[in-house]
Amino acid sequence: MGILSAIHYAVALLRMNLRAAFARPVVALTTAAFMFGNNMIWYLVWVIYFANFSNLRGWVGADLALLLGIVAWAFGLAVLLAGGGRELAQAVADGGLDVHLGRPRHPLPSLLANRSLPSGLGDMASAFVFWLVFAGRGAADLPFLLLVATASSVVVVATMVATQCLAFWLPRAATLCEELFQQFLMVCFYPQHPFGFMARLVLFTVFPAAFVGLLPVEAVRDGDIAKALAIAAGALVYAALAAAIFARGLRRYASGNRLVEWR
């Protein structure tokens, strides 16, 4: 199967995914609207903060809005197109992986695209409000913003896959996987620049929230191409890493030993 077939396949997966998300359009749009409102109210906290304080170690309200927009876009896109990643641990635990393994394709894309959360659309819509209204950016900034935030989204998906892959080694770890991902999400939603060296070391390596929060904001604010390239490189590295971890896990899955351990 050639490149053309692979592209056809990817397009079909995405289409399917969106169709499923909007199979009940009213429910989907309501969910998206709630997520949008949710993000707006969350911003109120920062409005109150900056009503009291001129800056947060150099960051002003516009920087925060930039951050929230980038994170909302990254997460929204991730759960809209790769929402199945959140159920990977479950699929490992209950054998749902088998269906995908019985196909002549790499199982990861179809696993990721297996589910789509329409709330992601609300996140993505709120990103534009954060950028254009609260951060005071213009339409001319959008291409760069979208590029950077989409690269961040790849890091989000990679982290999702990597944390969920824990289930290959730790049976019944679905709660733990979800918790780790929640923590990742939480760190992303806060400014990371006041963190100390050790914390930053963690955020740039094993818990790559810096590629979703810190770096993108600095790249956009300072128009720093080098930082944007660093995010892109991070996206590639973490995607490769996640795929490698998944492949390792799959080998273990194929040995069957994890299925019965610690019963």
Residues at the interface with other proteins (CB under 8 A):
1, 5, 8-9, 11-13, 16, 19-20, 23-24, 30, 34, 37-38, 41-42, 44-45, 48-49, 51-57, 95-96, 98-99, 101-106, 110, 175-176, 178-179, 182-183, 186-187, 190-191, 193-196, 199, 253-257, 259-263
CB of 143 to other proteins, least distance (A): 30
Q: How far is residue 117's CA from residue 79's CA, in Å, rounded to a whole number? A: 6
Exposed, middle or buried, 90 (CB in 10 Å: 0-12/13-18/19+)? middle
CB of 219 to other proteins, least distance (A): 21
Q: How far is residue 263's CA from residue 172's CA, in Å, rounded to a whole number? A: 10
Q: How far is CA 53 from CA 80, 189, 192, 233, 263, in A?
A: 36, 19, 18, 35, 54
CB of 167 to other proteins, least distance (A): 13
CB of 206 to other proteins, least distance (A): 15
* 182 versus 229: smaller Cβ distance to other proteins: 182
Contact between 111 and 91 under an 8 Å Cβ cutoff? The reply is: yes
* 201 versus 233: smaller Cβ distance to other proteins: 201
* 13 versus 142: smaller Cβ distance to other proteins: 13
* 140 versus 197: smaller Cβ distance to other proteins: 197
CB of 152 to other proteins, least distance (A): 19
96 φ/ψ angles, rounded to the nearest 5 degrees? -65, -15
Return contacts of 208-211, CB within 8 angstroms, 24+ apart: 208/155, 208/158, 208/159, 208/234, 208/238, 209/184, 211/151, 211/152, 211/155, 211/235, 211/238
* 49 versus 229: smaller Cβ distance to other proteins: 49
Q: Is 138 left (phi over 0), alpha (psi -120 to 50) or beta?
A: beta
* 98 versus 224: smaller Cβ distance to other proteins: 98
CB of 253 to other proteins, least distance (A): 8
Side chain identity, residue 98:
D
